[in-house]
Amino acid sequence: MLDRRPFMDKDYWLKLLESGDALEILQRYSEFKNQVFADEIIEKTVRYAAEKEPGTALYFADIYKKQFYANKVIERAVRNQVKEYPEGVLLGGDLYIDKPYAKEILFAACEKGSLAVLQHTELYIDKPYAKELISKASYNVFSDKNQVLELLQNINSLHDSPENVRFAILPFLTPGQKYDLITKGREEIYTSSYLTIVDSLFVDVKKKHQSLDKLLSPEQMQSMGIFLEAAASYNRIDPALRCISNAAFPGIMQSIITQCADHTKGMESAATLATIISSQSQNITLRKTLEEGFHKGYDQAIVDKESRHQYGLLASLYTCTYRDTVIPGQKAFFDKIMGIALYHIPALDTLNQSKLTDKNGVCNQLMVFASDDDSKKSYENWKKEYHGLPGWETVEYNQYTVIKKTDGKVPVSIYANKPEAGTDGIKDIEQVVRKQQDSVQASFQVFIGRGHSYHANEYLSHLSNKTSLVYLGSCGGYNNLSRVLQVDPTAQVIATRERGSMYVNDPLLLNLNRSINEAGKINWHEEDQKLQKIPSADKTGYLMPNKNMGLELLQYYDRIKDEPTISFDAAPSASKPPSPHVNRHKSISH
């Protein structure tokens, strides 16, 4: 008996084509591909699609690309597609990139799809017209902040790709365009994206033998505060300051100093200024601007108590750093500031036993791993760090792991969720610790976030206001400092301003745990000396609490912000400012 199923009939498919159903025909190709009429149906269908549905013709090119008519069909489809949907042309670029008309198509795509052109540089990066094409596409994209953000998100999304693929566009961007990626994408940029882009920008500025401000438009200069805030957060403040001309410093710095009086951005600006102070720049123009700005800001904030305290604290930090070289005309002001005891910022030198133990005398630590491959590698390396160490025991559970040492001055228990267990592992840990502490809420004296920086929201959600030490060892962990202080303004923080590495994190954490276990406290000066001996170049980005001037400023400001201001007349007189060792380097017990 003959098979009378309709799709075995050539006329059935021709009628579908007459009704304009090219997509359905190509989707159902497997149903008739063995029929004698298959080639005829496909040829007619793709020729039709190239005119009416070019995206369909390109998407199903694998069906016909070996046929004699394929080149003409693909070219026709590409030329029609670029008019209506240029992004689609880039997605199917492998079909035509080596054809004589490829350059024409890509430049046509720039008219409506510049962003897509920049997102698919791997398609044409080795072509002689690549620089010209990227330059044209970049001009269009960088005039629209939303497209700049999309381009940056594309760079971020290639985090695990080789650098020559992820950052293929960088050599073709202008310094101003790289600057825009940083300033317009400040909230979205990954640490690795920022470091590569900004270092490339510094190289460009040096090659051009011009200062950065000379390469930017007046509109772009309005974002210089954002640029310097990012540089302060990512340990790039020194090269950032070096690429600014002396002529531009007064305007830039005065803008940042003025923002201290803005109660929505004030502390962010103050933290940036604290980092600039800590850079110990010898640029006289910069220092003169800071001195005059702090003096003026303090004098003008007569009725604004919070701003007056900020300027007073910044002036105090400045005096501690440049005590003997303050400009003569400003010396009287800074001497008087140092005569106000309220502005003597205590140093974060130690973390004592009372802050590191629960009511049972145990130091409980919560280490949160994200669920990506990087976290899995970090998790295994963390366990390896303690393997075979006398007195340290590793106990595996279904969803989490505990590494502990029960003897010594302070017993230490480190609880870590297994990466694949996610929040379920953390819930199990909290339940166990609650039971041990006989409390409603588990109390962890140390919190450690592990994994890429873009998982920060995930792991910081488990931070509590009872934590004394927070460890942010992921790339750019410093950027989460303000969020940590919102949860617990008194927490001491170790953070990295550059790339985080398990080859720094794990030996550094082991050093801390040995100090807690054996001495019952942490001395940050000693721990910093141990950090310098870790054989990894990435250690330079790690910042201990005693060297984090921004942290000291933010924490102390939170303590005094409601205190009444003190006039110079009421302040104790001093013939000379007290030694720095009497103020911010005098430790208060924590």
pLDDT in tens, 32-87: 999 999 999 999 999 999 999 999 999 999 999 999 999 999 999 999 999 888 88
- pLDDT > 90 fraction of the chain, expressed in percent and rounded: 69
Say if CB 536 and CB 246 are below 8 A apart. no
CATH topology (fold) of 350-561: Rossmann fold (3.40.50)
Token digits for 379?
A: 């998790």
The DSSP secondary-structure symbol of 347 reads B
- The pLDDT-based confidence of 480 (bands split at 50, 70, 90) is confident
Residue 486 or residue 333, greater confidence: 333
The full set of domain ranges for the chain reads 172-343, 350-561
Average pLDDT, integer, range 289-300: 94
The contacts found for 10-16 with CB under 8 angstroms, 24 or more apart, are 10/35, 10/37, 10/40, 10/41, 13/37, 13/41, 14/41, 14/44
First to last CA, the chain: 92
* CB neighbour burial string for 301-316, b if at least 16 within 10 angstroms, e if fewer: beebebbbbbbbbbbb
Distances 512 to 84, 184, 381, 540 between C-alpha atoms, Å: 61, 38, 17, 18
Q: Which residues contact 157 (CB under 8 A, 6 or more apart)?
A: none
pLDDT at 533 over 60: yes
Assign 576 a pLDDT band (cuts: 50, 70, 90).
very low
CA nearest 490: which of 351, 306, 316, 315?
A: 351
- Position 460 scores a pLDDT of 80
The predicted pLDDT at position 383 comes to 95
- Nearest-CA neighbor of 481 among 267, 309, 280? 267
Q: Do 417 and 425 contact (CB within 8 A), yes or no?
A: yes
Tell me the pLDDT band of 268, cut-offs 50, 70 and 90: confident
Q: Write out pLDDT tens, residues 185-224.
A: 998 999 999 999 999 999 999 999 999 999 999 999 999 9
pLDDT score recorded for residue 128: 95
Selected residue with higher pLDDT from 438 and 587 = 438
DSSP per-residue letters across 370-422: -SSHHHHHHHHHHHHHHTT-TT-EEEE-SSEEEEEE-SSSS-EEEEEE-GGGT
The answer to whether 286 and 237 are in contact (CB under 8 A) is no
- Per-residue model confidence (pLDDT) at position 581: 37
